[in-house]
Structure 1
Amino acid sequence: MIIGVKSRFKGVLLTSSALLALAGCHDGSNAEHPNTEEPVSVSYEVTVTNLTHAQPMSPVAVVIHSAGNLWQVGQPATVSLEKMAEGGDAAELFVDPMVLAHSSGVGLLQPGMSETLSVEVESGTGAKLSLVSMLVNTNDAFTGLDAYDISSLSEGQSVTFYSSTFDAGTEKNSEMAGTIPGPADGGVGFDSVRDDVNFVAVHQGVLSADDGLLESVLSGQHKFDNPTAKIQIARIQQ
């Protein structure tokens, strides 16, 4: 992953009654003007570009959260991530208790195309931004960004990432007919049965029928190299 980053009083003798009067005024002032700041809304724009040749990406899912991770390499995928990685459905990610705000793309992000999403969150939450999208002509491959701390971005500042592709490890990369939900096959998406290694890893890529996997419904054009997506995050408003 590559990151680019664009009353003091002097000389006065006070009587006890005067001190009491001053104390009363001081307490009343604090009550009327507490030293607290109201939270304000902070807005971000997230632009995603599909860098692949023939791998449409499922509607981009952006979530802001204050704790936790959407996934971790070497750890089992959550069911909500599994549903996104196998079928492109991010609905359960959006209702996770850790999520503070979210945004979703309007449809498939086609190869070579870009889409910008807006998301807003209150300041002072220690916000982290995560993003996921399935490569739909695969069994369970996805790309994205996990738990990037956006709380330190100043207004007008942006950062850019080039993201790799990950294997959810929940479905074998058989590439067989009926198992690929994208236009190359139109098969089944999410299947609750896990028949792979059951941990997230960097994806090894598509094999395809052109390279000897005879039962594959994919061709050489569906192969992909890392990075597979460009992600730019910009803070646009205090």
Structure 2
Amino acid sequence: MRFSKSLIILALGVSLAACSDSDNNDVEVKPPVVVTPTSYEFTVTITNLTAAQPFSPVALIAHTEGMLWQIGNSASEALERMAEGGDNSQLLTVDFATHAQSAESPLPPGEQLTLTLTTEQLESLKISLATMLVNTNDAFTGLNAIDVSSLAVNESLSRHSHAYDAGTETNSEAHGTIPGPADSGEGFNESRDDINSVAMHPGVVSQDDGLRSSVLTSQHKFDNPVAQIIITRTQ
């Protein structure tokens, strides 16, 4: 039996088309994989241990590198603004911060507050916080780059913090130079008239101990530590 070339070509075309349709029907289309970000949550409780030094609104920062201050080095402008006037807005936006949280109001002596920080980064995670002792010229306290990456859920660590001197304003204790309720004076001033390096704070002198120009009294003195901080991983 003979077939014409045109019939053979037509048959081959139909056969190939059928094979092509069969192949398409066998392809399994998989939906895209959606990765849900993992969140890690930490609560930080700060207790003011002083007798008469309110803390400015606490700045709480998550990061994987960098430090808010270093003893012996000049304070950044962000730290200076906080240590002289209690303004933490620049600290909350430092370039190495991955997440940040601020207390809504000052923390009175003898009281405590808890802040919650949520982040998607756990590897190399550090937590820092800073707050001003507002009845001073430029004293502050806090934690600097505490590694929390190895904390398990419901595990805590506790730290006591000392008072630091930003070194940006002379500790004159003079009228008009202290932003806290003992004076209601000036806060941040961009000029620096002290040693220009962060150090441990020498403490308040006060008018009761012979500094006649001081607006502070012996009740404004403080002993170290000035704060207790407890960090708990809750998620």
Deviation string, structure 1 residues 102-138 (Cα, Å, up to 9, x no partner): 1111211000000000011113442110010100000
Answer whether contact 2:151 2:233 (CA < 8 A) is retained: yes
Please give the residue correspondences for 1:221-232 in structure 2 after superposition, counting only pairs within 5 Å. Answer: 221-232=219-230
Please give the residue correspondences for 1:186-225 in structure 2 after superposition, counting only pairs within 5 Å. Answer: 186-225=184-223
- Say which SS state the counterpart of residue 162 (structure 1) adopts: strand
Deviation string, structure 1 residues 160-200 (Cα, Å, up to 9, x no partner): 00100000000000000000000000000000000000000
C-alpha separation between the residues in 1 aligned to 2:163 and 2:62? 21
CA drift at 1:88: 0.3
C-alpha separation between the residues in 2 aligned to 1:172 and 1:141? 11
Report how many residues are paired.
Answer: 207
Alignment gaps of 5+ in structure 2: 1-29
Structure-1-length-normalised TM-score: 0.83
Q: In the alignment, residue 46 of structure 1 is paired with which amino acid? A: V
C-alpha separation between the residues in 1 aligned to 2:71 and 2:53? 22
| Aligned twin of 1:5 | none
Deviation string, structure 1 residues 64-88 (Cα, Å, up to 9, x no partner): 1110000011110000000000000
| Aligned twin of 2:181 | 183
Q: CA RMSD in A?
A: 1.8
Q: In the alignment, residue 163 of structure 2 is paired with which amino acid? A: T
- Say which SS state the counterpart of residue 80 (structure 1) adopts: helix
- Say which SS state the counterpart of residue 75 (structure 2) adopts: coil
Alignment gaps of 5+ in structure 1: 1-30
Q: In the alignment, residue 84 of structure 2 is paired with which amino acid? A: E
C-alpha separation between the residues in 2 aligned to 1:159 and 1:82? 28
Answer whether contact 1:39 1:124 (CA < 8 A) is retained: no
Answer whether contact 1:86 1:171 (CA < 8 A) is retained: yes
Answer whether contact 2:40 2:122 (CA < 8 A) is retained: no
Please give the residue correspondences for 1:21-100 in structure 2 after superposition, counting only pairs within 5 Å. Answer: 39-100=37-98
